[in-house]
Amino acid sequence: MLSLKTALRLAALPTTVVVGAMAFALLPGPASPSADPVATPSLPAISVVQAGAGEIADRVRVTGSLVAQRLSVVRAELDGARVTELAVEVGDVVEKGDLLARLDDTMIEIERQRNAAQLGRADAAIDQARSAIEDADAAHERAASALQRARSLSTKGVVSDATLEDKLYDERSTASSLEAARHGLRLARADRDILLGDRHDIETRLARTTVSAPVGGLVLQRKVEVGSLAAQSGSDLFVIAENGTIELEGRVPQADLARIRRGASAEIRVPGYSEAFSGTLRLVEPQLTAEGRMGVVRIALRTDLRLPVGAFARGDVVVGNRTAVLLPSSAIVELDGRSQVFVVEDDVVRPRAVETGLRSGGIVEIVSGVGAGESVVLKSGRFLNAGDRIEPIVTDYDALSSGVISVASEERP
């Protein structure tokens, strides 16, 4: 189309020129070398992932502290003794019978020496009583023999009745002396038995001045110092973790308590240690705590490391395993309280409602709606519409094929 300025100029020309110029202007000209042909629009490249089939290990979370599985408390078995030596420190590993401490035995040793002297006197008294019995027995035999002769002669009229009376008195007197000597021996032996009992008591108290480990294990506490007094009614001297066995004592919500069983495998993590420790659920206490109505469980750890007693720890007890369809959480789009994904079929996006289950570490269980092996948009599903064509870029999501997916109780939807 001619501009207004050009048209005014043409009006001043002769008619033939104007017509020719207009005709020339209306003729189609050659195509511009810079003109582009109509281009076909390119499809958006979208990352997609194939729904995986994996095994889900359903877990119950346990939190608590590390404790000794069995504690052995060592107390003094002797009153009023002063500690003279300490042989172990906290953290030492001891064997059964190892020396832990020594108590002062000075006064007990004096008693032992006095008892030894008394036992010597008692033995001498016994020997003296035996000699007296021998003398009395000999005298009684002589008197009995003289009485028998006197009786024999009395029948012949040789011995008078008075003499016979004297012989009878001598026999009876020596018999009484013999019985007294025997009684003296019994008394001497009884005195010795008493002293032997005293010696046993002294030796027992003397042995108790040596405090030994009743079991082998790890020394957790030492509550005495050199010079302090030990008493049977006093505080503990040492606390030993029997065999050094440590376990997790944890709390479990009441709703999860019925799902766990003794012998279930567990994984325990302790702050400060990079590796996880395996364990076994050893005990489920039958009574809930007064506060919070929590169940108490104990998980035995399988490790050679000397873990600190009292440290915080977290455990996951496996309560079940099953095979399920898994997708990354980024593929799930929440709209109006419902979950959906964008399935890709023949490069065309189609929304599909899904039902989700357990979640863990960016992985979601798909209960229904998508089957294993189907292609699903990995991200940006909110910017797509039903029927959009895309250029799918298949992405490998290693977590979907890495094996067992562990899911703790608080990770459930």
**What pLDDT score does 302 carry?**
84
Place of tokens 């440290």: 311
Alpha-carbon Rg for the chain in angstroms: 53
- Phi and psi at residue 368, to the nearest 5°: -155, 160
**What pLDDT score does 1 carry?**
40
For residues 159 and 153, give the distance between their C-alpha atoms in angstroms, rounded to a whole number.
Answer: 6
For residues 211 and 238, give the distance between their C-alpha atoms in angstroms, rounded to a whole number.
Answer: 10
Confidence of residue 9 (pLDDT cuts 50, 70, 90): very low
For residues 67 and 308, give the distance between their C-alpha atoms in angstroms, rounded to a whole number.
Answer: 9
pLDDT digits (tens, 9 = 90+) for 58-92: 788 999 999 998 999 998 888 888 999 999 999 89
Count how many Cα atoms sit within 13 Å of the Cα of residue 190 in the half-sphere of its side chain: 6
Take residue 101 and report the two structure tokens written for it. 């401490």
Report the pLDDT averaged over residues 297-322.
Answer: 88
Report the pLDDT averaged over residues 314-334.
Answer: 88
Assess contact for 246 and 217: CB atoms under 8 A: no
Q: Strand 45-50 and strand 391-394: pairing?
A: parallel
Given a cut of 80, whether residue 380 has pLDDT beyond it is: no
**What pLDDT score does 5 carry?**
37
Number of H helices, E strands in the chain: 5, 23
Least confident window among 132-146, 161-175, 200-214: 161-175
pTM assigned to the model: 0.59
Confidence of residue 180 (pLDDT cuts 50, 70, 90): very high
Report the pLDDT averaged over residues 267-291.
Answer: 91
**What pLDDT score does 129 carry?**
92
Residues with Cβ within 8 Å of residue 316, at least 6 apart in sequence? 59, 60, 61, 62, 266, 267, 406, 408
Q: List the one residue out of 357, 364, 367 whose CA is nearest residue 399.
A: 364
Assess contact for 50 and 398: CB atoms under 8 A: no
**What pLDDT score does 345 carry?**
92
